[in-house]
Amino acid sequence: MTSVPDVIQTWQMVQPWTRDKETGTQTPGRLERTSIRMPELHPGEVLVEIAGCGVCHTDLGYFYDAVPTVSTPPLTLGHEISGRVVAGEKSWIGKEVIIPAVMPCNDCAICAAGRGNRCLNQKMPGNSLGIYGGFSSHIPVPATDLCVVKDRGDMPLEQLAVVADAVTTPYQAVTRADLQAGDRVVVVGAAGGVGTYVVQIAKALGAGTVIGIDLKQEKLERALQYGADFVIHSANKDVKEVRNEFRALCKEHGLPSNFGWKIFEVTGAKAGQEISLALLSFVGKLIWIGFSADVNEYSLSRLMAFDAEIIGTWGCLPKHYPAALQMVLDGRIQIEPFVEIRPMSTIRETFEEAHTGKLTKRIVLTPDF
Amino acid sequence: MTSVPDVIQTWQMVQPWTRDKETGTQTPGRLERTSIRMPELHPGEVLVEIAGCGVCHTDLGYFYDAVPTVSTPPLTLGHEISGRVVAGEKSWIGKEVIIPAVMPCNDCAICAAGRGNRCLNQKMPGNSLGIYGGFSSHIPVPATDLCVVKDRGDMPLEQLAVVADAVTTPYQAVTRADLQAGDRVVVVGAAGGVGTYVVQIAKALGAGTVIGIDLKQEKLERALQYGADFVIHSANKDVKEVRNEFRALCKEHGLPSNFGWKIFEVTGAKAGQEISLALLSFVGKLIWIGFSADVNEYSLSRLMAFDAEIIGTWGCLPKHYPAALQMVLDGRIQIEPFVEIRPMSTIRETFEEAHTGKLTKRIVLTPDF
């Protein structure tokens, strides 16, 4: 049995990157290694010894792009966590778990309506769970919604950290899209950290055709090995060119191009959003997963003419975690080719590499305090 | 038994209103009384002797605003039709019917997916059903999807014409919104010809709160008698003022203003659209019924942050007509206060009055050839 230390070792975001509005002076953000007092656990809470925590674009948004965290810094970032319960509620001790990236309160009108993934009282490690986050040795969390990991064979527990967000957010999105066997799917941003899983999950759940669109040729070719039937390389092409290529591809393969497509916008970038909107057509669905502050220009009345819809999707209901995890464990979703494990002490360099777009895999940091 | 005449008497749109692109010269549209050869009925078709045909904004769009009809003029407009079957398939003869405004082919992939209201081969009287439309003595139509009128008591058959579009389009929209008992609803354009029925149907199906928003104070007060719990008069107010009034109303009545609202945009006008978008919030739905050519400026990523959606809705599946009709016949939907019957020979003046916004009720024209 693991002993519980007196303190939590952690990499705190002491301050985010800031830019003075008047002078324009930029102050780099700071991540500092420190230790914090081990908190007293309340009834219903457990302490998780962290196996791994994924580095997500959301973390980078907090650190580099002035996206405010709910808890005021200093706090520890990181919300994509796997680990083992080492203290707290007795029935949980010793269990390996994935911590849902957003944990609903389970006690409000939104939760009662089955929409707990957008509960307004939700707790998210590395954002709204006090000062606690995943780039640490341990984290205290409510036990209720933890996802138990069983029979993982030789899959490392730290690798499963990506189930907490990168896999489950797409899972929720595909569920929101009401994906049916035979559906025609487009994923804009198919080669990225989240898009990769949208492609795999859509295909695994029976999509008839999955077309991946992305800027990066090399990564797109990888997508062809993991669920995509066809790909469109969109770099240096305008929206019309991409749409024409999509139509030509449909024609070549005997698919209708003008109705019934479920399009997933995963890029959170204006160019990707414009492609997604241009491909939306009759009785189609556009599922909006990526986030940007951009204002879009679109005649929403087209949705009326198309009998179509745009669905925004946020996080994932904890109740879906076991199903998503099972798909990973039985190989229907491959995560190993898309994950790289690094020691947590590389956090500063890893953030910098992720921020400058140099990574081709999602990084999971393992505690090495 | 009614005899079948040799010809159909009709008011044809000989030409729509046009504007020469180069000279700017406007040519008024022309409606001409004429007669057309009685067509031979094909198997599966019936001839309906028209009782009444409603004048819809869609007709005005074709006539005044350069919206193209599928069949090239000359053709007869009018798609909101009730009447009696007088020839064709024997089992139908003598039945009183409502003709669905859009009739699916029932034989394509979209129809098979249950989305026949947006079937791309659909037939719509006064648009894509050859030259035939409702501003006539008779019309040949496929029998399959006709809605039979039974037990109408003393409700005039011609009045029931509005079930073909003004009542059923909102019915489909409320169905698409997945309205549940207790739901909080906003209708933007609540006092108009379609909004009136959105309000009534939402309330009749169990909405907990219905807030009507419109420009016209007098009509809004009528909405309070027909389903609206509260109203907001939006004339001469900007979007922020309307939103603040909405929030104050919520606060006063102990309702949350920031989540779970189902908002129906019925105006098809930019101002109404902007109000609708401004009120959309967490786990909300915006149902887009009105049409305009306007481009909207909106950060669609808010849908992701809100876990919210925008749903466009077109027409109504024929399978919903009997339920909508029943609500009219049993008084849950009141149509009489919102309908005025006029002889069809007033069509030119009626179009003009409707176009210039002078009408407070929907006009149903009855054949007087």
pLDDT tens-place string over residues A288-311: 999 888 999 999 999 999 999 999
| Statement: residue A1 has pLDDT above 80 | no
- Mean pLDDT, range A259-271, rounded to an integer: 96
Flag whether pLDDT at A3 surpasses 80: no
Strands B285-288 and A45-54: unpaired
- C-alpha distance from residue B36 to each of B5, B9, B78 (Å): 11, 7, 16
Report the percentage of chain B scoring pLDDT > 90.
89
**What average pLDDT score do residues B22-51 get?**
93
Q: Which of A79-83, A128-132, B64-68, B120-124 has the lowest mean pLDDT?
A: B64-68
Q: Which of A273, A305, A306 sits opposite B300 (nearest CB)?
A: A273
Residue A76 distance to chain B (closest CA, Å) = 22
Smallest Cβ distance to B298: which of A295, A311, A315?
Answer: A295
On the question of pLDDT at A41 being above 60, the answer is: yes
pLDDT at res. A24: 84
- Residue B2 — very low, low, confident or very high, per pLDDT cuts 50/70/90? low
Q: For residue B257, which phi and psi values (nearest 5 degrees)?
A: -100, -10
Query: In this structure, are residues B123 and B140 in contact, taking their beta carbons and an 8 Å threshold?
Result: no
Say how far residue B181 (Cα) sits from the centre of its chain: 24
Report yes or no: A309 at the B interface, CB cutoff 8 Å.
yes
Nearest CA-CA distance, residue B82 and chain A, Å: 25
SS3 of chain A: helix, strand, coil, percent, to 5: 30, 25, 45
- Among chain B residues, the shortest Cα distance to A120 is held by B282
Residue B218 at interface with chain A, using a CB cutoff of 8 Å? no
The C-alpha angle with vertex B330 and arms to B327 and B336, in degrees rounded to 5, equals: 85
Q: How far apart are CA B263 and CA B251, in angstroms?
A: 18
Give the residue among A311, A314, A295 at the shortest CA–CA distance from A303: A311
Amino acid identity for residue A2 in this structure = T
Contact B110/A260, CB-based, under 8 Å? Answer: yes
Q: Which two tokens stand for residue B15?
A: 């030409």
Exposure of A85 by Cβ count < 10 A (0-12 exposed, 13-18 middle, 19+ buried)?
buried
- What's at B14, amino acid-wise? V
Judged by a CB distance cut-off of 8 A, whether residue B294 touches chain A is yes
pLDDT given at position B21: 83
Q: Where would I find the H helices in chain A?
A: 57-64, 109-112, 168-176, 195-204, 217-225, 239-252, 270-279, 301-306, 321-329, 347-355
Residue A171's closest CA among A83, A52, A264?
A: A264
At B318, list the tokens: 């024929």
Banded model confidence at residue B26, pLDDT cuts 50, 70, 90: confident
Report the amino acid identity of residue A276: S
Environment class of residue B315 by beta-carbon count within 10 Å: exposed (0-12), middle (13-18) or buried (19+)? buried
Amino acid identity of residue A96, one-letter, is E
Q: Find all residues with CB under 8 Å of A60, minimum gap 6, and list them.
A: A351, A354, A355
Top-confidence residue, B316 or A218: B316
Query: Ramachandran region of residue B153, left (φ > 0), alpha (ψ -120 to 50) or beta?
Result: left
Instruction: Label each residue of chain B as H, E or C.
Output: CCCCCCEEEEEEEEECCEECCCCCCEECCEEEEEEEECCCCCCCEEEEEEEEEECCHHHHHHHHCCCCCCCCCCECCCCCEEEEEEEECHHHCCCEEEECCCECCCCCHHHHCCCHHHCCCCECCCCCCCCCCCCECEEEEECCCCEECCCCCCCCCCHHHHHHCCCHHHHHHHHHCCCCCCCEEEEECCCCCCHHHHHHHHHHCCCCEEEEEECCHHHHHHHHHCCCCEEEECCCCCHHHHHHHHHHHHHHCCCCCCECEEEEECCCCHHHHHHHHHHCCECCEEEECCCCCCCEEECCHHHHHHCCEEEECCCCCHHHHHHHHHHHHCCCCCCHHHEEEEEHHHHHHHHHHHHCCCCCCEEEEECCC
d(CA A195, CA A289): 9
> What gap in Å lies between CA A102 and CA A119, rounded to an integer?
9
- Give me the mean pLDDT over the A41-50 stretch: 96
Q: Is A288 within 8 Å of B300 when comparing Cβ atoms?
A: yes
According to the model, what pLDDT value does residue A2 have?
Answer: 58
Work out the average pLDDT over A238-261: 98
C-alpha neighbours within 13 Å on the C-beta side of residue B98: 33
Mean pLDDT of B221-244: 96
Per-residue pLDDT reduced to its tens digit, B260-296: 999 999 999 999 999 999 999 999 999 999 988 899 9
Q: Please check whether residue A181 touches B, CB under 8 A.
A: no
Q: In chain B, what residues touch A260 (CB-CB under 8 Å)? A: 109-110, 113
The Cα A37–Cα A8 span in angstroms is 6
Indicate if the pLDDT at residue B100 is higher than 90.
Answer: yes
Per-residue pLDDT at A113 exceeds 90: yes
Test the A interface: residue of B165, B184, B307 with most A CBs within 10 Å: B307
For chain B, say whether A323 makes contact (Cβ under 8 Å).
Answer: no
Distances (CA, A) of B65 to A17, A271, B110, B133, B292: 53, 33, 29, 19, 11
Residues of A in contact with B208 (CB under 8 A): none
**B267 φ/ψ angles, rounded to the nearest 5 degrees:** -75, -35
What mean pLDDT, rounded, does chain A reach?
Answer: 95
Task: Check whether B319 has a pLDDT greater than 90.
Answer: yes
Strands B81-88 and B45-54: antiparallel
Whether the predicted pLDDT of A124 surpasses 60: yes
- Interchain pair B268, A299: CB under 8 A: no
Helix (H) or strand (E) segment spanning residue A53: strand A45-54
Ramachandran angles phi, psi of B72, nearest 5° = -70, 135
The partner residue sitting opposite A288, judged by closest CB among B292, B304, B312, is: B304
What chain A residue is nearest to B261 in terms of C-alpha separation? A110
Q: For A181-208, what is each residue's pLDDT tens digit?
A: 999 999 999 998 899 999 999 999 999 9
User: A42 to chain B, minimum CA–CA distance in Å?
Assistant: 30
Distance CA B210, CA B83 (A): 34
Separation in Å, CA of A369 to nearest CA in chain B:
35
Q: Which helix (H) or strand (E) holds A15?
A: strand A7-15
Burial per residue of B211-229, b for 16 or more beta-carbon CB atoms within 10 angstroms, e otherwise? bbbbbbeebbebbeebbbb
Question: Best of A307, A314, A317 to disrupt the B interface by mutation (most B CBs within 10 Å)?
Answer: A307
Q: Which amino acid is at A346?
A: T
Nearest to A304 among B301, B304, B313 (CB): B313
Interface check B288 vs A, CB under 8 A: yes
Is A309–B305 a contact, with Cβ atoms under 8 angstroms apart? no
- Residues of chain B with Cβ-Cβ distance to A306 below 8 Å are 118, 312, 314
Nearest C-alpha neighbor of A234 from the set A202, A206, A198, A192 = A192
Best A309, A316, A320 residue to mutate vs chain B (most B CBs within 10 Å): A309
Residue with tokens 């401004």: B278
High-pLDDT (> 90) share of chain A, %: 89
Q: Which of A105, A261, A301 to mutate to test the interface with B (most CBs of B within 10 A)?
A: A301
A310 touches chain B (CB under 8 A): yes
The partner residues of B11 in beta bridges, in order of sequence, read B33
Q: Using CB atoms, which residue from A118, A298, A299 is nearest to B283?
A: A118
* Residue B97 pLDDT: 98
Helix count (H) and strand count (E) of chain A? 10, 19
Q: How confident is the model at residue A25 (pLDDT cuts 50, 70, 90)?
A: confident
Nearest to B54 by CA among B364, B368, B340: B364
Report the run of H or E that residue A13 belongs to, with start and end.
strand A7-15
Q: Which residue has the tokens 């929403």?
A: A300
Residue B1 has pLDDT above 80, yes or no: no
Give the helix/strand (H/E) hosting A84. strand A81-88
B window 95-154, beta carbon within 8 A of A: 109-110, 113, 115, 117-118, 120
From chain B, the residues in CB contact with A115 under 8 A are: 283, 307
Count other Cβ atoms within 10 Å, centred on residue B246.
22
What pLDDT band is residue B167 in, cutting at 50, 70 and 90? Answer: very high
Cβ–Cβ contact B365 with A under 8 A: no
Residue B19 in this model has a pLDDT that exceeds 90: no
Closest CA to B140 of B153, B150, B130: B130
A299 to B295: CB separation less than 8 angstroms, yes or no: yes
Residue with tokens 């559906």: A183
Residue A296 with chain B: CB contacts under 8 Å: 297-300
CB pairs under 8 A between A and B: 138
Out of B291, B304, B311, the one facing A313 most closely (by C-beta) is B304
Contact between chains at A307 and B314 (C-beta distance less than 8 A): yes
| Residues from chain A contacting residue B309 (CB–CB below 8 Å) | 309-312
Residue of B nearest to A316 (CA): B307
Mean pLDDT of chain B: 95
Measure the CA–CA gap between B291 and B293, rounded to whole angstroms.
Answer: 7
| Contact flag A312-B309 (C-beta cutoff 8 Å) | yes
| CB contacts, 8 Å: A267 with chain B | none
Token output for A229: 């039937």
**Confidence class of residue B24 from pLDDT cuts 50, 70 and 90?**
confident
Burial class (CB in 10 A: 0-12, 13-18, 19+), A108: middle
